[in-house]
Structure 1
Amino acid sequence: MGSIFKFKEFEINQQGCAMKINTDGVLLGALVNSQHPSRILDIGTGTGVIAMMLAQRFPFSQVDAVEIDEDAYATAIQNFQNSAFSNRLRGYSGSFEDLKKVDNYDLLVSNPPFYTNSLHNPDLRKKLARHTDFHFFDKLLLFAKENLSDRGELNLILPIELADYVIREGLKQDFHLVKKIEIKSFVNTDVIRNIITLSKVQNEVEIVEFVIYESKGVHSQEYKELLKPFFLAF
């Protein structure tokens, strides 16, 4: 994949980013559902693609994005400035924990690092982008508790076991699972990712399934419809 990825309403320069645009990120950006969020925060924005997808989807929202990798942050800022949504996108360099509280967010999203307790990648920047431990998610849940509005929601895309951990730990912070999207490669294969929505408000849990491919190399109709507002190919 080249350094420039063109979408219908914006383009992403990926140069300088350890982690490039990936399926997890675009699925999260397209599948997150929220009722007219006023303020959104993308944690670990990388190239800025999720933040920009959300800026496109929610035209009246202010979208903040934070990135700990300095080179990726610089690239994301450039992408923001070159977009039609530049007046509603704001980037911060550093950890989400260092953000100064201004107002509560209605929506927190993250496609976080999840190679938990695995072998470290020898590439240090990729290690930073894709390796973490459970403590990261404990801190993330605490941040969400302190910075989400009363009806705000935290949305994460994670492997199944890690999603289960975050759901369990979320309960300790008075968060409730309100939606789970089970991502599969094919209809008859195992779930590979969960997109989980946690809220301070308890509701009946909605569980839905999403299939990426109809057959090898052929995207499903639901995938095409989902990404049609973004991808030139659809």
Structure 2
Amino acid sequence: MARNSFFKFKQFTINQDQCAMKVCTDACVLGAWADVENAERILDIGAGTGLLSLMIAQRSAAARIEAVELDTDAYAQAQENIANSPFKSGIAVLNAAIQEFSSDERYDCIVTNPPFFQSDLRSPDLKINQAHHSESLTFDDLLESVDRLLTANGKWNILLPVDEGIIFQELAGKAGWFLQRKLTLFHQKDKKPFRLVMVFSKLELVDNRVVNQDLLIYDEDGRTYHPEFQKLMKDYYLIF
């Protein structure tokens, strides 16, 4: 996906010139696929440009969404994008670290695309490091924050690279979370998977069967979008 200064969707536009984290395909998949069914109060951890909040608001018109963002420039950009959207009345953006964030009410759904690289080489750009690497939000911090902010029956959605996702799933299990659904992303057939989208809850599955799905971004030619990807993104992408 091209990293232009803005990305136009069917119902809103994402300006991203002030954000280290640009609009990317895997984040769009999270926004379109996340389990937000029947959620009335939703928390977006690490709002960035406001992309996830806006995508979810488009799907869940009645939900109240709060988005927390640590970086001041990204926070300002998320505010701008949301204020210029038709969904501004249902989304509030807060400039805070999730470790220090508190709320009078718990959320029944959480969505997050966290900084995920545990050991990759660092960028000379401090903002890129903060957006991509886990020092600002470790897995332990994230698990503690979700446990503190989610209702007992709530669900939460997370996007991670495959290796980090496997590690995180094990940590989440030890912390008492049960994997409910998992989507494995592939660029195309016969390529290695590159992202996992997972849904967790404290409620144990009755039949102990996790819903596993695969999603190909492209057909075998590597250029044509796969029909299932088109189906998922048709309400958002202008090209579909």
Whether TM exceeds 0.5 here: the answer is yes
Moved more, 2-11 or 87-96: 2-11
Mapping 1:65-76, distance limit 5 Å: 65-76=67-78
Question: What fraction of aligned residue pairs are identical, expressed as a percent?
Answer: 34
Q: Give the distance between the partners of 1:232 and 1:101, measured in 2 at CA.
A: 36
Deviation, structure 1 residue 35: 2.3
Paired position in structure 1 for 2:128: 126
Which amino acid is the alignment partner of residue 90 of structure 2? R
Residue 221, structure 1, aligned to residue 230, structure 2: no
Paired position in structure 1 for 2:154: 152
SS at match of 1:108: strand
Paired position in structure 2 for 1:205: 210
Residue 111, structure 1, aligned to residue 113, structure 2: yes
CA contact (8 A) 2:46 2:69 kept: yes
Which amino acid is the alignment partner of residue 226 of structure 2? S
Paired position in structure 2 for 1:233: 239
Deviation, structure 1 residue 173: 2.1
Deviation, structure 1 residue 172: 2.4
Paired position in structure 2 for 1:164: 166
Deviation, structure 1 residue 89: 0.5
SS at match of 1:213: coil
Change (3 A) 1:227 1:103: same
Change (3 A) 1:134 1:73: closer
Deviation, structure 1 residue 227: 0.7
SS at match of 2:134: coil
Divergent runs of 4+, >4 A: none
CA contact (8 A) 2:35 2:157 kept: no
1:86-140 deviation per Cα after TM superposition (whole angstroms, max 9, x unaligned): 1100001021122122211111111111121222111111111111159711111
CA contact (8 A) 2:35 2:199 kept: no
CA contact (8 A) 1:110 1:155 kept: yes
Change (3 A) 1:91 1:134: closer
With structure 1 as the length reference, what TM-score do the two structures score?
0.96
Q: Give the distance between the partners of 1:133 and 1:156, measured in 2 at CA.
A: 17
| Matched residue count | 234
Residue ranges of structure 1 left out of the alignment (5+ in a row): none
Q: 2:185 aligns with which of 179, 183, 197?
A: 183
Deviation, structure 1 residue 34: 2.8
